[in-house]
């Protein structure tokens, strides 16, 4: 038995004893069950399996540490009110914020960060990684790493634009429907039902084949597909606000619809809307990636994570993980956004008055 294995078990058992002694129940259960699992994996997989566990645990610890540090950093640099909110954020949310922050930096400063151009052919097709190319080359010999960085800008930017538009249309319609009521409400509601009744991917493919695949069309089509969901949520949230006495007071004062929406209703429905924005952003992002994968989204040579998966897909049959990197980038962002949204949902549904 190597010193690594002995050290590994000694550390785990020591830590679980300590946890038990200090009555940290959850900590103890976690560490001790890991010890038991390690016994089994150690016997089955030997030292390499234990090394893998160690690496994973190390990565997790690293992520947790980064998240913690990032949260403290945010608390320090933000003004008092925001900092107070941030203190309530769990580590998962901090991790999400960190990932989003990294993506934003990558997207905004893409030309500076990326070592090569988006469409620049620098080596042979499917060249393996070396000092100049961190992640190797794609099917045309372009630098994978640079394309991922540019992809952040294109994919995320496009998704952000489409989600923003969907929210603008959906929220406006929802607020109007809740305030006006009557036939307008009915009409908008049924219209939303019609759009929602068509499967989103089929609808998008249809529209894109009719109007052609340029960016404006993609943004508008995706926004139209997702606005009914926003409409429904907004209408429901605003519906609860509209019946309050202060709305009646404002109506009796003679205020117009626009004032009611802007000053009285909207401030009381922002929390769930922001949370919904995060969720919808993930769906929109996945839809756009899906469209690109099918070849109807962002067109080459523009770098985009969805199409990058498709273009390099042949490599999977050779046991290469390269095509999965852009997919992992998509997955990571989706998870990160959901972590942040979970926290926001928790806050907005909490009993606490803001």
Partner 1 sequence: MVPKKDVLLQIKDLRIEGYSEEKWVEIVHGVDLTLHKGEVLGLIGESGAGKSTIGLASMGFARDGCRISGGSIEFDGMELTTTPESDLRALRGSRIAYVAQSAAASFNPAHKIIDQHTEAPIQYRISKRVEAQEDAMQLYERLRLPNPSEIGFRYPHQVSGGQLQRAMTAMAMACRPDLIIFDEPTTALDVTTQIEVLAAIRDIVDQFNTAAIYITHDLAVVAQMADTIKVLLKGEEVEEAPTAQMLGSPKEDYTKSLWAVRSFKRPQKNRPTGADAVPIVSVQGIDAAYGKTKVLDDVSFDIYPGMTVAVVGESGSGKSTTARCITGLLPPTKGKILFNGQELPAKYTDRTKDQLRQAQMIYQMADTALNPKIRISEIIGRPAQFYSGLHGAALKNRVDELLDLIELDPAKFYNRYPPELSGGQKQRVGIARALAADPAFIICDEVTSALDQLVAEGILKLLDRLQQEFNLAYMFITHDLATVRSIADEVVVMQRGKVVEQGPKDEMFTPPHHPYTDLLLSSVPEMDPNWLSTLLEERGTDAIGEAADV
Query: ∠257-259-262 over CA atoms, to 5°?
Result: 105
Q: How long a stretch of residues is the chain?
A: 354
Q: Does 264 bind partner 1 (CB under 8 A)?
A: yes
In this structure, how many other beta carbons lie within 10 angstroms of the beta carbon of residue 315? Answer: 18
Q: Does 254 bind partner 1 (CB under 8 A)?
A: yes
Q: Does 347 bind partner 1 (CB under 8 A)?
A: no
The stretch near partner 1 (CB under 8 A) out of 6-14, 17-25, 142-150, 263-271 is 263-271
d(CA 120, CA 137): 11
CB of 244 to partner 1, least distance (A): 5
Q: Does 72 bind partner 1 (CB under 8 A)?
A: no
DSSP state of 302: S
Q: Does 320 bind partner 1 (CB under 8 A)?
A: no
* Binding track, positions 219-248, relative to partner 1; x by CB under 8 A: -------------------------xxx-x
Interface residue with partner 1 among 7, 58, 267, 301 (CB under 8 A) is 267
CB of 263 to partner 1, least distance (A): 7
H helical segments located in the chain: 3-21, 25-77, 80-86, 91-108, 110-113, 144-151, 157-180, 182-197, 200-211, 215-242, 245-253, 257-259, 266-293, 305-311, 324-349
d(CA 285, CA 155): 7
For partner 1, which is the closer residue by CB, 26 or 353?
353
Inter-axis angle of helices 324-349 and 91-108, to 10 degrees? 130
For partner 1, which is the closer residue by CB, 148 or 261?
261
Q: Does 262 bind partner 1 (CB under 8 A)?
A: no
For partner 1, which is the closer residue by CB, 73 or 246?
246
The stretch near partner 1 (CB under 8 A) out of 4-12, 93-101, 250-258, 298-306 is 250-258
Is the link from the previous residue into 301 a cis peptide, with omega within 30 of 0?
A: yes
CB of 251 to partner 1, least distance (A): 7
Beta bridge partners, 137, equal: 143
Interface residue with partner 1 among 42, 135, 255, 335 (CB under 8 A) is 255
Binding site for partner 1 (CB under 8 A): 244-246, 248-249, 251-255, 263-264, 267-268, 353-354
């Amino acid at each position: 038995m190597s010193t690594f294995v002995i050290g590994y078990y000694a550390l785990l058992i020591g830590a679980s004893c300590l946890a038990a002694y200090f009555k940290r129940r959850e900590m103890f259960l976690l560490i001790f069950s890991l010890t038991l699992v390690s016994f089994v994996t150690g016997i089955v997989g030997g030292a390499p399996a234990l090394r893998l566990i160690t690496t994973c645990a190390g990565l997790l610890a690293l992520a947790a540490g980064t998240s913690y540090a990032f949260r403290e950093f945010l608390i320090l640099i933000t003004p008092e009110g925001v900092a107070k909110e941030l203190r309530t954020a769990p580590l998962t949310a901090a991790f999400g914020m960190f990932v989003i922050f990294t993506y934003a930096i990558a997207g905004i400063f893409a030309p500076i960060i990326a070592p090569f151009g988006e469409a620049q052919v620098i080596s042979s097709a499917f060249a393996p990684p070396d000092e100049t190319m961190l992640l190797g080359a794609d099917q045309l010999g372009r630098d994978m790493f640079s394309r991922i960085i540019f992809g952040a800008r294109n994919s995320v930017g496009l998704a952000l634009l489409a989600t923003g538009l969907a929210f603008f249309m959906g929220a406006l319609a929802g607020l109007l429907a809740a305030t006006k009521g009557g036939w307008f409400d009915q009409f908008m509601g049924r219209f939303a039902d019609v759009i929602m009744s068509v499967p989103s991917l089929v609808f998008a493919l249809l529209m894109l084949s009719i109007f052609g695949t340029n960016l404006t069309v993609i943004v508008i089509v995706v926004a139209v597909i997702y606005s009914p969901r926003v409409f429904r949520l907004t209408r429901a949230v605003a519906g609860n606000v509209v019946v309050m006495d202060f709305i009646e007071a404002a109506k009796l004062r003679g205020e117009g619809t626009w004032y009611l929406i802007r000053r009285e209703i909207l401030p009381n429905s922002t929390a769930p809307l922001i949370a919904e924005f995060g969720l919808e952003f993930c769906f929109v992002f996945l839809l756009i990636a899906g469209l690109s994968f099918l070849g109807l989204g962002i067109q080459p040579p523009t770098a985009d994570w969805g199409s990058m998966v498709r273009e390099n897909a042949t490599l999977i049959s050779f046991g290469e993980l390269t095509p999965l990197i852009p997919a992992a980038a998509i997955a990571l962002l989706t998870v990160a956004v959901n972590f942040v949204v979970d926290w926001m949902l928790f806050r907005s549904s909490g009993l606490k008055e803001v």
